[in-house]
Chains A and B, each alone.
Chain A
Amino acid sequence: MARIAFVAHCLLNQNSKVAGGAVCPGVYSPLVDELRARGWQLMQMPCPEMTFTGLNRFWAVREQYDTVAHRRHCRRIVEPLAGAMAAHLERGDEVVVIGVEGSPSMGVRITSSDPARGGRPEWADGAPELAPGQGIFLEELLAAVAERGVPAPRAIGVTESLPDHDQDAQTTQLATFLEQ
């Protein structure tokens, strides 16, 4: 049995981040280190934002991505992903999901929310937008998995995008999660 971590696209490829969001040139090493040290293999998920609104997209909150068209896009791209998870589980592999806290798409426990956001940008840098909840892609992924009758994988998000990110705390949380 292998241990398979399905990770958000940007954790292996920071080039997919919204402009201003890349915290390193390419691979987010703290996560890779933690996973490999504990014997997990990596499986990269697609980036729902980049393949929908492109590299020049604006920073956006969950409500701006919660549209019929974006949901349809997410459902299209999670279908083979759910199939991949099912294939791993059929082999007896353990599967987990690792998202990105604070993301409108990949948040696991924390997403970004501001129902009033839209139109000509006028909010200040650092305007509060973090909110409890999942991102759109995570919701659609877990729904696709459930529709296949596959048990929902455990999930956790890295916190590198949060303003109060604490590397030591993240490492501890990841270690606890990966050893459960």
Chain B
Amino acid sequence: MDVDQRGFRVALVADELVNPAAGGTDALEVLRAEDWGVIQLPPAWYPADVAAPLLEQTAEHVEEFARHGYQLVLIGHRQGLEDALRHAGLELPDAVQPNSADELRAFLQARPPADAALVRGEIS
């Protein structure tokens, strides 16, 4: 198998923290420095008939990562996410609403490392 560098850690991230306004918290910058992958949540202004199926797809991604033991967290908030996850039999992961990049970094650094057996390829 080729060398695979995945980190086995995935953050669900509110759109406004992926594309922050000037002066806003830039979660994407922190997450890539801390080696987390990102699942971006739909922007709050999207029409319901667009956002609802996108959130359903988010839940499908989360379900696959969760059943393989990947770490999941939620950064920020997105209305409708909890219902979409519940519909897939999932709960909201541990969450943070960061007021700064430092606060987010501290939250991520306090998380346990990725499952060592996953990283070693002993389970998948």
Contacts and interface: CB of A to CB of B under 8 A. Distances in A.
A23 B6 CA distance: 7
Interface stretch (B29-37, B90-98, B99-107): B29-37
B117 to A, nearest CB: 15
Contacts of B51: 80
Contacts, number: 117
Contact of A25 (B15, B35, B52, B61): B35
A87 interface: yes
Given A27-B31, A81-B54, A83-B49, 10 more contacts: A14-B37, A16-B61, A20-B3, A22-B5, A25-B9, A26-B35, A32-B28, A44-B39, A55-B64, A56-B124
B74 interface: no
Contact of A84 (B5, B8, B9, B54): B54
B8 A15 contact: yes
30 contacts: A12-B18, A12-B39, A13-B38, A13-B39, A15-B7, A15-B9, A15-B37, A16-B61, A17-B4, A17-B6, A19-B4, A19-B124, A21-B4, A24-B5, A25-B9, A25-B35, A26-B6, A26-B35, A26-B37, A27-B32, A27-B38, A42-B18, A42-B28, A46-B60, A51-B60, A55-B65, A83-B49, A84-B46, A84-B50, A87-B50
Contacts of A79: 53
Interface in B38-65: 38-40, 42, 46-47, 49-54, 57, 60-61, 64-65
Nearest to B1: A20
Interface centre among B4, B31, B37, B49 (most CB of A within 10 A): B37
A51 B2 contact: no
Q: How large is the interface on A (under 10, 10 to 19, 20 to 34, 35 or more residues)?
A: 35 or more
A95 to B, nearest CB: 13
Interface of A: 9, 12-17, 19-27, 29, 32, 41-44, 46-47, 50-51, 54-56, 77, 79-81, 83-84, 87
